Structure formats: C-alpha cells, structure tokens
Chain A
Amino acid sequence: MTVKDAFLRVEGLAKRFPSSKGELTVFDKVDFGIAKGEFVCIIGHSGCGKTTILNVLAGLEQPTSGFVFMDGREVSGPGLERGVVFQGHALMPWMTVLANVSFAVRSRWPSWNRAKVDAQSRRFIELVGLSGAEHKKPSELSGGMKQRVGIARAFAIEPKMLLLDEPFGALDALTRGVIQDELLKICAETHQTVFMITHDVDEAILLADRILLMSNGPNARIAEVVRNTLPRDRTRLTIHHDPQFYKIRNHLVDFLVHRSKLIQQGGVDTAAGASGGPLEVSPGLEPDAPDPAPTVPAPRLHAVR
C-alpha cells in the first residue's frame, strides 16, 4: 500500500514550539498512511510527540505544518467521523454509564428518538461486556470498566476511524489482557480502522497490522514501519508460541533500546521507502535479517507526562 491512496493520509506533519533556545521541533517530516480496516500502532519514547500526532488526527490540535487527509477530505477540526478514546477515559462523572454512551449517540444522530438512542447505546455497552452496569456512575466502576465505557462511547457513534491514546496504560496486566482481547474481537467484527498509541511492545504485536516506530524527540520522526507478519487470527494466549513473534519483538525492542536514540543523534540515516514514506520492514521475513538475539524481557516503557 502506498501513502497516496491510503484511507488516512498524513503528509509532512511537523510541530514546533518557541523556546528559550530558538524554536524547538518536537517532530517533523511525519508521513504515513493507514488503509481502510487497518490497525496501526505507534510506538516511541515519551516526548516524541505521539499524543500530539493523535490530537492532530483528532482535530483537537493544529500542526505547525503538514496536512491530514481522511477519505479524501482534509482534517481541520474535531469531528464525529473520528472516535477518540482518551488516555484518562474522560467519562463525565455525573452521568451513568448509559448516559455517557448515549450522550455520544445523541450527538451523532440528533434526530433519533429516545428508544433508538437507548438501543444503540445498550448494544455497545453489551459489546464491551458491561451489561448490568448501565445505571452505575463512573465512580462505582473499576479502572478497566471505565476504560471499557470509553471504548463503548467511541464505538457507539460508528466512526470511520478510531483513535486510541494509550487506552490501557493505567490498567493492571490482567485487565489489560482481557480488554485487548475484546478490542481485537470488536475490531475484527466491525472492520474498524484504528490508530493507537501504546508503550507496550507485546500489545502492539498482538493488535497492530503495522507498527510505526518513532525516534526520540525532539526532532522526532517516523523512523521505520514494521509490518506485522503474524496471521491475523492471532490470540493473546497462543501468540508467544510463534517463532515469528520473537523476531518482531526483538526488532522492536532493539529499536527502542538502541536505534531510536541513534537516529535522533543523526548516527543512522533513515532510509526512505519506495513511496517516499519511511522504510517498511518485515522482521524475520527479510533475507538479510540477522538471527534473532536471545529473547530478553521487553522493557515496558512508562509514560512520563
């Protein structure tokens, strides 16, 4: 797939801030595309501007330069065709679960009557496994349940694209696994196009079709695009039995531990791909790929905001 005919097209995106030492470039020359129905994760260290990129896609923030096109139209502000799952769930604490979801549904279809809004909201609350909790307030829910409501709210408006800002960052490992499975299931059912920020290498390999690797900020850019060569019916329980899993995982960990910094310092040039975007690689399937190093536990990168 080339950037030109992608469903979502990001061209020459850059964000700069004035600072005491002149202008600070958070990231620049960010180009990538996402095909319809594709699940794309973006990984990078804190401060590389991932959240800014997502906010630009959501229309909540303006880039210093560059463009975002979705479905052939330029994205210039927030809109209902893009659903956003916020990092801190962002539920309205005075509304029940049902009210939170139907708030979104009513915004999407203002002409719908109450029964129709109710039915649509309940359908998506059921989809995330929260039936029975419709009339609870967010304060009565666990962290995982709150995040599920956030996901239900984003899905319920049936957006053309879903933007997830590190949605599982605050959850414990067990809850995270369960919700990852659910997200995978829902995305498979609805053929949703998804762009997601994560700090978790395993999560990216489980969920994403392609993984965008960002070099460190400032002056961050998308250094590489890793194609996930695992079959799409992968599951969390069996994925680690596939030798290919470790090849991809080692590639990602190597990038985060060594190369992301070298690229920032200009030690390694990022080779441009055929379409003008960043180089696309398929770890383990390429002829000159080195044997995978012995597997080490992946460091989990923690977001520092």
Chain B
Amino acid sequence: MVSRELRKIALERIERLMDFAKKHALERPEIARQAVLLAMRIAQKARLRIPRRYRLMYCRKCGTPIWSPNTFTIRIRSRRSTHITIRCNNCGYIKRMLVKKKDRSRK
C-alpha cells in the first residue's frame, strides 16, 4: 500500500517526466523515450493510472512519445465499425480507437 503523500509525489513525477519528454522529443528522441518509460515504471510502482491527457501521448509498448518526429501513422478505417488506428513506426504496435457517430436522429 502506498500512502496518499507518496501517490501525490508519484503523480507529480509523472507530470514532470512527461513535460520533460515533450521538451526533448524533437532534438533527443531517445532521452524522451527513456523518460516516458520511467514514468510508466513509476506509475506501476505507486499503483496509479497515468492521467488520460498523457496516456494518449505515447506508445504503450515501447514508450515513444508522440512529439518526436515521424513516429506515428494515423489512419481512419471503416471496414468494421469506424475506428482510428494509431501505428507506432518504432515498434509496430497498433492502437485502435472507436469513432462514435454523431446522433442525428430527431427526438
């Protein structure tokens, strides 16, 4: 069990690491990737989820941040229900997200 104070510290460490990764992603992508991996390990240790605003910003398999150049291919596909595929060009991991259609029916 992690105390409340430690969770607070861990959350802020994650925030700081993500900001750090964003800052260095363009010039030193490898350093940024290491920082994201460290943030993932800290979240594991402290048993908390990475906030959603950061969770969409990196590859969950290899940790490549989205801010580095030429790292992700994003496509809209409609073979099954319409979804977005986000493919990491570093490791090949594919993340799929459903697209919800706007409800146009009149009530």
Answer whether A and B are interacting partners. Answer: no
Chain B interfacial positions (CB closer than 8 Å to A): none
